[in-house]
Amino acid sequence: MTDQPTARDEPLVLGIETSCDETGIGIVRGHTLLADAIASSVDEHARFGGVVPEVASRAHLEAVVPTMHRALADAGVALSDVDAIAVTAGPGLAGALLVGVAAAKGYALAAEKPIYGVNHLAAHVAVDTLEHGALPEPAIALLVSGGHSSLLLVEDLARKVTPLGSTIDDAAGEAFDKVARLLGLPFPGGPPIDRAARAGDPSAIPFPRGLSAARDLAAHRYDFSFSGLKTAVARWVEARERAGEPVPVENVAASFQEAVCDVLTAKAVDACRAHGVGTLVIGGGVAANSRIRTLAEERCAKHGITVRVPRPKLCTDNGAMVAALGSHLVAAGVTPSKLDLPADSAMPLTTVNV
């Protein structure tokens, strides 16, 4: 093993993620992805139209050990080989987080490994290092999922992350789920809307761009709002139905998606320019949307900003992202968490690790 890189340069870290409905266990060595095992309870939530916290927590408990076995087998390592265990400590669903945090503690104390309780959103940023290598700092991160919509200034991924803005009502992914339901498309709504939108005209219906008017920008320059957009889509669809006219699903999907992606990318580019930052990282489940990638690249290219978007499987919740952040923290010499670390469903964005 003499030619192996030292642990300090490329730490071998196992990451556990249970903040929502995916039980994810990933293993990375430095920036190299070795395993990304996932068990999802999404099918159990579909008929409820959203994630049911208790159903998710029960599924996590059942899935943790089998998912751990798959991850270790995929990576070809033993738990005794890892340098540290990282776990999402927040933000997320309290009961769901707690299953992962308690599991991580059990494994860490039994295997006598250091534990890092990390921020889910910082992990969404860190996962990009597995795809594109070390993150240039500072960077702007746009994190969009079913639970979060945030713009962050990342000056030091291990120590200094500053929130610039976030949604003041629904998360972007939530709007996708609600509009999908309105259009009779399945849950989760992101992928079917993306597919339907490909055959539609994004300029067919002028849906509103939340918090983009001059008066809103003064107070909410980097904040988002998707609740009004969702209602506007509902009203438009209902008016059609009442008039006895068919609903052009493709056009509604494309126009709604365009409204979301327009605001997200416009504000992300604005944040980059205002802070003189040359790198935009996009993460979270909504980053898997094809339109947001294209639009971000188009707009960033005009201003000389590099866009980094990990492949879709790494954008949605997974354990590899937690491992990636853990590995970064170990390499940066950050002190591990204590064994009494709490799960914090409302963990502030400024907290990278606890």
User: Judged by CB under 8 A, which stretch of 47-55, 143-151, 166-174, 216-224 contacts other proteins?
Assistant: 47-55
Q: Is 124 annotated as a binding residue?
A: yes
Number of residues that bind other proteins (CB under 8 A): 45
Selected from 9, 156, 201, 238, the binder of other proteins by CB under 8 A is 238
Residue 308, both tokens: 């980094």
Residue 65 engages other proteins in binding (rule: CB under 8 A)? yes
Residue 330 engages other proteins in binding (rule: CB under 8 A)? no
What part of residues 270-329 is at the interface with other proteins (CB under 8 A)? none
User: Judged by CB under 8 A, which stretch of 3-11, 167-175, 236-244, 265-273 contacts other proteins?
Assistant: 236-244
Selected from 43, 76, 109, 303, the binder of other proteins by CB under 8 A is 109
User: Judged by CB under 8 A, which stretch of 274-282, 302-310, 319-327, 334-342 contacts other proteins?
Assistant: 334-342
Our CB check for other proteins shows the closer of 204 and 234 to be 234
Our CB check for other proteins shows the closer of 179 and 269 to be 179
Our CB check for other proteins shows the closer of 49 and 312 to be 49
| Interface residue list for other proteins (CB under 8 A) | 47-49, 52, 54-55, 57-58, 60-61, 64-65, 68-69, 79, 94-95, 98-99, 101-112, 181-182, 231, 234-235, 238-239, 242, 338-343
